[in-house]
Amino acid sequence: MSLPATDPCVHCGFCLPTCASYRVLATEMDSPRGRIHTLKAIAAGELELDATVASHFDSCLGCFACVSACPSGVRYDELIEATRPKLNAPELRTPAQRAFRRLLFSLLPYPQRLRALLTPLRAYAGTPLQALARRIGLTRLFGPGVEAMERLLPPLEPEAFRDDAPVLVPAEGTRRYRVGLVLGCVQRLFDPAVNSAALQVLSANGIEVVIPPAQGCCGAVTHHQGELEQTRELASDLLQCFDAVIGPGQPAGPEPLDAVLVAASGCGHTLKAYSSLLASAGSEEAAASPEAALAFAGRVADIQEFLERVGLAEAFAAALQPLRHGDGTPATAERPLQVAYHDACHMLHGQGLRNEPRQLLRRIPHLRIIEATEAGVCCGSAGIYNLVQPEEAAELGRIKAADLSGSGADLAASANIGCSLQIRRHMEEAPRPIPVLHPIQLLARSHAGG
Ligand code: SF4
Ligand code: SF4
């Protein structure tokens, strides 16, 4: 198979301590160095990509911590991205694995389908019934994949079942910028408060927000699993949604956007890759608009990245108040609110954003950021990894939750919906559970008076 170069790997092993799969499986074949060695052997015709070999690639979380750690500049991210589509060959997975993945890919990227499935579960999620079902092991009867899904299911808010955001949210005061907002298919259903907070913060910072009402998934879920055809369809649909509301005579008016923002780092990573994704050979839709894909991808920014780049509005920054501790007392210089910031892999290793979220949080008075010991190690969420590799993911989730809660922080901040769901689920079992919130929620709360 033809792949990006594996040659720069000098087998030094510096990447091994950062590798999440190596951490829990402890075998060379499940490390970046081992997988690179395997790719070389396949390319040399010494090894075949059979189901056993494929399973060692499936165990990779795609967290890219190895890319950040590698002193030789090996682009493992490109290697695994080029390998993933080959892992989807039918003979490499069991019928049950294929069926479960098909189910996930036909549900997760489609908010309306997911809503239809979740509607009857509103009477279950977050209720004593759910606690009872877990206690007596009822969910285990449906197999490890479904059990893992159920364990991640948060209480379902009424807002998750509404698409009532206006197409245009005006800026408060003088308009400084005009941006689009990608809502995220999982985020809008499982944590709608994040997008509400994003709208409050943006508007209060003099930023007008355009929200295409028919938008679906950006394609991150399928992109990270090498399902390229479906990803390109989803990406093309999203581009069309933006085109349908911006322009002369369109609901959001004719002016172009300064940026396209998203508050979920897994989505941001894929949105920034649209130009290469849609320009890839075999994508007919991309051939129709490569310039549009390039222009769109060039405008994509994580909401924290954008706010740090343009700066907070003076009035907004001046209005920020200390947040409150769990006992209701406001944070003070003597007793600051301590926040453990969790670096999502697709933010830190995938987009190279480490300082921006921390800088933004530091604007909140009397908020102190605590660095967890394992800040750069994956939490085990990794798209659908915690559903298709539930045991390894659970082990990583336990490590992450224990690390964050053991840091002594009052709460944890996570800027990716997948990580937040995974950490909250495992925080339940931590010795000192702490809440997990998106940094933009903390900023909105601080602006609203703490
Ligand atoms: S990928 Fe980089 S860090 Fe890992 S073994 Fe190869 S050269 Fe060393
Ligand atoms: S992407 Fe993450 S899990 Fe995969 S080899 Fe690199 S460090 Fe390990």
Show me where the domains of the chain are located.
Answer: 16-92, 161-310, 320-447
What's the pTM? 0.93
Label residue 367 exposed, middle or buried (CB < 10 Å: 0-12, 13-18, 19+): buried
Mutate to test the pocket of ligand 1, among 10, 35, 38, 40 (most ligand atoms within 8 A of CB): 10
Give the residues of the chain that fall short of pLDDT 50.
Answer: 283, 285-288
Which helix (H) or strand (E) segment holds residue 241: the answer is: helix 228-245
Q: Which atom of ligand 1 lies at the shortest distance from residue 73's CA?
A: 2
Using CA atoms, how far apart are residues 404 and 413, in angstroms rounded to an integer? Answer: 10
CA–centroid distance, residue 61 to ligand 1 (Å): 17
Three-state secondary-structure class, residue 3: coil
Pocket test of ligand 1: the residue of 3, 6, 15, 39 to mutate, having most ligand atoms within 8 Å of its CB, is 15
Distance (Å, rounded) from C-alpha 244 to C-alpha 242?
A: 5
CATH number of 320-447: 3.40.50
What is the structure's pLDDT at 165? Answer: 87
| Helix (H), strand (E) counts: the chain | 25, 9
Question: From ligand 2's centre to the CA of 57, what distance in Å?
Answer: 9
Q: What is the CA radius of gyration of the chain?
A: 22
Atom of ligand 2 nearest to the CA of 22: 8
Collect contacts of 277-281 with beta carbons under 8 A, ≥24 apart.
277/219, 277/223, 277/228, 277/231, 277/232, 277/235, 278/232, 278/235, 278/236, 280/228, 280/232
Residues with CB under 6 A from ligand 2: 18-21, 32, 60-66, 76
φ, ψ for residue 167, nearest 5 deg:
-65, -30
Q: At what angle do helices 390-406 and 417-427 cross, to 10 degrees?
A: 80
Q: Whose CA is nearest to atom 4 of ligand 2?
A: 60
Could you give the CA distance from residue 25 to residue 31 in angstroms, rounded to a whole number? Answer: 9
Q: How far is the CA of 21 from the centre of ligand 1 (A)?
A: 15
